[in-house]
Amino acid sequence: DVQSLAGDSVDNIPGIPGIGIKTAALLINEYGDLEGLFKNSEKIKQKKRRENVIEFEDQAYISKLLVTLKNDVPLPMPINETTLKDIDAEKLISFLKEMEFKTFTEKKSKELNVDSEKIKASDQVEKFEKKIIDNPNKIEEFNSEFDIENYKIIQTLDELKQWNIKAENVGYVAFDTETNSLDAVKADMVGFSLCTSENDACYVPLLHDGEESEQIDFDEAIKILKIILENNGIKKILHNMKFDALVLDKYNIKIQNYDDTMLMSYSLGSGGIRHKLDTLIEYYFNHKAISFKELVGSGKDKKTFQELSITEAGKYAAEDADMTLRLWKRLKSSLVQNKQVKIYEIIEKPLAQVIMDMENHGISIDKDKLNELSKVFEKKLNSLEKNCYKLINEEINLGSPKQVGEVLFDRLKLSGGKKTSTGSWSTNAEVLENLANDGHGFPKLLLEWRALSKLKTTYSDALPTYLNEKTNRIHSSFSMATTSTGRLASSDPNLQNIPIRSEDGRMIRKAFIPEKGNILISSDYSQIELRLIAHIADERNLIKAFLEGVDIHSATASEVFNIPLKDMTPEIRRNAKAINFGIIYGISAFGLAKQLNVSRTESSEFIKAYFSKYPSIKDYMDETKKFASENGFVKTLLGRKCLVEDINSKNAATRSFMERAAINAPIQSSAADIIRLAMISLDDKKKTDKNFKADMLLQIHDELIFECSKTVKDYVVKCIKQSMSSVTSSEMHKFSIPLEVNVNSGYTWGEAH
């Protein structure tokens, strides 16, 4: 009865929205069983809980039917005949001892009344050797070869209907769309492919140019496709479901009951292998897929998919569906073997729909504001250029690394120059920052010029070009399976790299606006990574500081530099802040010395003092490096695997870099998991709470941006804060430190931050 109310997402048991195990247990304890609960549902004091219990009564009874074990199944023989009657006690105990089942050996010895001490371990039983393979997810290849000549082109409605029947019979179908654009919000579907077993795949052309007579009527095909994709009894298998779902949304098709092989692969381990379909197929099955780039060409001769002949398009598209199905069969078992089902089912799979809705909704911008900013930036850039020219007594192209390098190291003869593999001087940010810290004026101005130039070209000039003509909003794409840490990656345009510390960067954020009558809300986790390292390392001093609400950087400064809190200065606090965050990223004494502008001896002493005050963090770092070296991966709080390749590299620089990555990955990746869970929680809130009328617009690392009516702002803020702060309260990922959430609102993103 408890499970009937709480449901189970892994087994697709719906339960009642908003009711978890604890609440369900309380209700059943109070009312006895489901029947008693529904007879007394009007007596439930909590309004929302009462409404949900009443509204979803039928769903609870369906859930009970699903979770109740059947005890009336006919058996081919009486149950007592299935027991083993004659047991060779000595042989059994010998086998158990060989397999090192110590507890079980003792238990069976007592039951069989034998002395296990007198029985030797068997030497007849094979010893299983652990096979070391280059990747724990790689299994033996399938025997079946890809046969692209066996793929079919579907050109009649009757043929397409037969594929619906096929899918119903086997219970699953791999599916892929082919479109005329890589922008899912703008794209039209040119055709789609289906596959129900290896080499049994087809392509359904719909909008190929000049071949109308060979294609099914678009609207009629959409009707049948809707039946297939919305049938809950058929598992739909896709690679990057989010893209296909966004394309299909404009045709009013909502994919039900799906698996996403890209997210299944990513759940097995972020980092390492790329999660593109053709890359995975080559890795798992040693099969080289038809190249999309070679198919459509490049340069002036490049075609759209719509311009391809149906025959060549069909082989490519059907192969995609075939590859997706094979990959699904492989990854299903790998998720179980690698104990990553929870990551896939509880985080990745539900999040895909949340992000799809977020991308679909988009965000508004003030074009006039951006145009004004471009003009302001242009004036500043001209001024910076003139000042640069004065310092070097000549005019050069500041955007040319070659010319800049020649001025710095050939003409001005500055020290610290490094040459690239091409023989040119390196003028990257690190080189320029070192020179600027040494007091050289030209590198300092050049860094300002570069930062402002990037703001202008990447944002104030470019953002208006991303406006969708139909929605008049920007629809950034958020990749779920790109980063090694589980963070989302934004593109077209990338909205995650807008500077927040500079005034110019903040001006860009002020160009993001809500619709008339609405307001923007920004919510972010406060110092989440520091809280995580305190929790993961179980560092009691840091945990105590967080629980007491002490400023964590001041607390660290007080501990490390032996300075009372009342005597804290801003400079000392800044140094402690640099150490706090530097430790998370495995900073070296050399790196910290550069950051604090002190000697390496001083920075080494700072780090030594830090570890003496927070010894558990040093233990965590040492243990994590050792675990990563032995296993090739590290884990997040929720069990996500982050692969750390080359951690045993013979190259000291590579090995050191990967060790720092290993230290940081459990922290940054756990933070990424928490924000993902928060997004899912808030999406559930929107579905179950009619008063929570807010749209999620953006995710920027630890920050979420929402848009809502001004009239409901206070309630929305309250709900956001409550949902985000309670993400780590369940037993599955209980957290020793409360999460602190900052929530602000305003009429621009800049104001809301």
Q: Is the dihedral of CA 38, 42, 46, 50 positive or negative?
A: positive
pLDDT of residue 732: 57
pLDDT at position 166 over 90: yes
pLDDT of residue 556: 83
pLDDT of residue 120: 82
Residues 6+ apart with CB under 8 A from 170: 196, 197
| pTM, 2 dp | 0.76
Rounded distance between C-alpha atoms, residue 322 and residue 174, angstroms: 7
Six-digit token pair at 357? 């809705």
> Burial letters for 204-234: b for 16+ Cβ neighbours within 10 Å, e otherwise?
bbbbbeeeeeebbeeeebbebbeebbebeeb
Exposed, middle or buried, 196 (CB in 10 Å: 0-12/13-18/19+)? Answer: buried
Full DSSP string of 434-482: HHHHTT-HHHHHHHHHHHHHHHIIIIITTGGGGB-TTT-SB--EEESSS
Nearest CA-CA partner of 269 in 353, 319, 340? 340
pLDDT at position 115 over 90: no
pLDDT at position 737 over 50: yes
Q: Are 264 and 331 in contact (CB under 8 A)?
A: yes
Beta bridge partners of 194: 175, 202
Rounded distance between C-alpha atoms, residue 56 and residue 74, angstroms: 33
pLDDT of residue 221: 95
Q: Are 466 and 492 in contact (CB under 8 A)?
A: yes
- Render pLDDT for 482-531 as a digit per residue (tens, 0 to 9): 888 888 999 999 998 888 878 888 999 999 999 999 999 999 999 899 99
How confident is residue 381, by pLDDT bands cut at 50, 70 and 90? very high
Q: Are 526 and 740 in contact (CB under 8 A)?
A: yes
Helix (H) or strand (E) holding 673: helix 652-688
Full DSSP string of 295-308: HH--GGG---GGGS
Please compute the mean of the pLDDT values over residues 171-200 and round it to a whole number.
92
pLDDT at position 156 over 90: yes
pLDDT of residue 135: 41
Of the segments 76-85, 283-292, 452-461, which one has the largest average pLDDT value?
452-461
pLDDT at position 126 over 60: no
Q: Are 226 and 252 in contact (CB under 8 A)?
A: yes
Measured CA to CA in angstroms, residue 703 lies from 481, 519, 675, 682, 706 at distances of: 19, 16, 8, 13, 10
Percent over 70 (pLDDT), the chain: 95
Nearest CA-CA partner of 698 in 382, 361, 380? 361
Question: In degrees rounded to 5, what are phi and psi of residue 202?
Answer: -145, 160
Q: Is 444 helix (H, G, I), strand (E, B) or coil?
A: helix
pLDDT at position 365 over 50: yes
Please compute the mean of the pLDDT values over residues 459-470 and round it to a whole number.
93
Rounded distance between C-alpha atoms, residue 23 and residue 25, angstroms: 5
Please compute the mean of the pLDDT values over residues 338-355 and round it to a whole number.
92
Please compute the mean of the pLDDT values over residues 51-73 and round it to a whole number.
87
How confident is residue 752, by pLDDT bands cut at 50, 70 and 90? confident
pLDDT of residue 140: 38
Terminal CA-CA length for the chain: 45
pLDDT of residue 142: 43
Distance of CA 10 to the CA centre of its chain: 19
Measured CA to CA in angstroms, residue 395 lies from 433, 456, 565 at distances of: 22, 21, 52
Residues 6+ apart with CB under 8 A from 511: 365, 366, 369, 370, 373, 460, 463, 748
Please compute the mean of the pLDDT values over residues 647-675 and round it to a whole number.
89
How confident is residue 136, by pLDDT bands cut at 50, 70 and 90? very low
Please compute the mean of the pLDDT values over residues 576-592 and round it to a whole number.
79
pLDDT of residue 614: 86
How confident is residue 139, by pLDDT bands cut at 50, 70 and 90? very low
Strand-by-strand arrangement of the 694-700 sheet = 694-700, 703-709, 518-525, 741-746
**Of 595 and 209, the one with more pLDDT:** 209
Helix (H) or strand (E) holding 152: strand 152-153
Pairing of the two strands 633-635 and 489-491: unpaired
Six-digit token pair at 629? 């070296």
pLDDT at position 143 over 50: no
Of the segments 37-46, 416-425, 716-725, which one has the largest average pLDDT value?
716-725
Please compute the mean of the pLDDT values over residues 345-372 and round it to a whole number.
94
pLDDT of residue 212: 66
Q: Which residue has the tokens 């050191």?
A: 656
Mean pLDDT of the chain: 87
Q: Is 482 helix (H, G, I), strand (E, B) or coil?
A: coil
Please compute the mean of the pLDDT values over residues 340-346 and round it to a whole number.
91
pLDDT at position 434 over 90: no
**Of 281 and 139, the one with more pLDDT:** 281
pLDDT at position 453 over 90: yes
Angle among Cα 695, 696, 698 to the nearest 5 degrees reads 140
pLDDT of residue 128: 35
Six-digit token pair at 185? 């919000």
Pairing of the two strands 258-260 and 235-238: parallel
How confident is residue 587, by pLDDT bands cut at 50, 70 and 90? confident
* 478 secondary structure, DSSP code: E
Question: In degrees rounded to 5, what are phi and psi of residue 522?
Answer: -115, 130
Dihedral, 642, 643, 649, 654 alpha carbons, nearest 10: -50
